[in-house]
Structure 1
């Protein structure tokens, strides 16, 4: 494989051709074009990065522009635009334009473009804030569905369904998401534990082995504690799963199975916070997939756990 030269303001830079091919291999559909650009922008450099940023700043204008116009607006060249198209998995600029146009058209018809990308101002009424949050979350979940590899979800579900023990690792907001997954799995009889403290998590990871599963959750994929705990679990033979927004992050690189999410940041919700709902959607899908594969056991466990807490529900018509 030959590396590609890319023009930059400082001259010529070399881009790893394998990385371009890996990105392109998954970007063969018009669905989720902008999600793939957002996910891959951080890995691009120089002129390719500028093209990605320009496309994301105004997708509708990019869809209308000729290749020469897009090159001029992004301060690059038509050759760079062509390389960018290939990095996104398209044979040429015409295919990329059609993909962006189709996606922005769907977004416009659904009302998503009204608030996406608009900064929330301190003086905005709550109705306007609610509209933007709904638009951002809806877009993020649709982008996640476009990015998600269902084959990887299947592999993770099979591993968890057959596991003797499941450890879930995460810090801060990711720890809260992990606790939700742990609770769901416990309700259907899966022996699962959620760890946010690195010392406790490492001790538990050291006791895992072949046939066990470790799930690490980190939007950036760069949280050191989560990486350490997942790495320890993997070194003991456990199957490792990463849930992250960056498929080439350190966390994803060490995992056997990678589940990718997208996010739509708003003024008061940066990426790490806005990623929570897409993370929960993916984990809910994974939980249901596990329940499907352990149907009889899961159904019996869920019935028993529901009966155990039923006595603590308030009777209908009771007053406090």
Structure 2
């Protein structure tokens, strides 16, 4: 339906994140520029979190004013607060990577590293199954 939240758009951003919820709630009211920005945030949240506002608007083709307006429409005081919340929302996704890095930093043999990686994969798959939401 026109103006509705894009189905499956938050595949890279956890559905439970504050940013996802706010975008889903506000999306139908967005202008084309804000929808373009929102779609990019949902599709590439780590990229958005790692780029400056100027780099992000260059990639998305919207203005700095639109990026700031996007953040304010979501209820944040500005882009910096939005970006900080985006990072908090990505923490559950980043945690397995951090654990694997720690494991690699320890004196582990190849078998232990592969086992740890596979265990993380199993945990991620189980988490995905639990979080399936037919409404989305």
TM-score range, shorter chain: 0.5 to 0.7
Aligned twin of 1:255: none
1:53 to 39, 42, 47: 39
Note the 1:183-262 alignment, pairs <5 A.
none
* Offset at residue 51 of structure 1 (A): 0.6
CA distance, structure 2, for counterparts of residue 52 and residue 136 of structure 1: 25
The answer to whether the 8 Å contact 1:33/1:100 transfers is yes
Q: Which has the higher contact order (CA 8 A, sep 6+)?
A: 2
Is the aligned partner of 1:79 residue 2:72?
A: no
For structure 2, list consecutive stretches of 5 or more residues without a partner in the other structure: 1-16, 98-120
Is the aligned partner of 1:107 residue 2:93?
A: yes
CA RMSD of aligned residues (A): 2.9
Count of equivalent residues: 97
* Offset at residue 137 of structure 1 (A): 4.2
Aligned twin of 1:44: 30
CA distance, structure 1, for counterparts of residue 126 and residue 26 of structure 2: 24
CA distance, structure 1, for counterparts of residue 29 and residue 96 of structure 2: 30
Aligned twin of 1:65: 51
Is the aligned partner of 1:135 residue 2:119?
A: no
2:135 to 271, 275, 278: 275
The answer to whether the 8 Å contact 1:86/1:92 transfers is yes
TM-superposition CA deviations, 1:172-196 (whole Å, max 9, x none):
xxxxxxxxxxxxxxxxxxxxxxxxx
Q: Bigger radius of gyration, 1 or 2?
A: 1
Note the 1:88-107 alignment, pairs <5 A.
88-107=74-93
Moved over 4 A (4+): 130-133
* Offset at residue 87 of structure 1 (A): 0.4
* Offset at residue 88 of structure 1 (A): 0.7
TM-superposition CA deviations, 1:68-121 (whole Å, max 9, x none):
11111111000000100100111111111111011102332268xxxxxxxxxx
Aligned twin of 1:300: none
Higher strand share: 1
* Offset at residue 45 of structure 1 (A): 2.4
CA distance, structure 2, for counterparts of residue 32 and residue 136 of structure 1: 20
Q: What is the DSSP-based 3-state SS (H/G/I as helix, E as strand, rest coil) of the residue aligned with 2:29?
A: coil
CA distance, structure 1, for counterparts of residue 26 and residue 82 of structure 2: 15
TM-superposition CA deviations, 1:35-92 (whole Å, max 9, x none):
2213332332210110100000011111111111111111100000010010011111
The answer to whether the 8 Å contact 1:38/1:56 transfers is no
The answer to whether the 8 Å contact 2:26/2:73 transfers is no
CA distance, structure 2, for counterparts of residue 100 and residue 56 of structure 1: 10
The answer to whether the 8 Å contact 1:60/1:104 transfers is yes
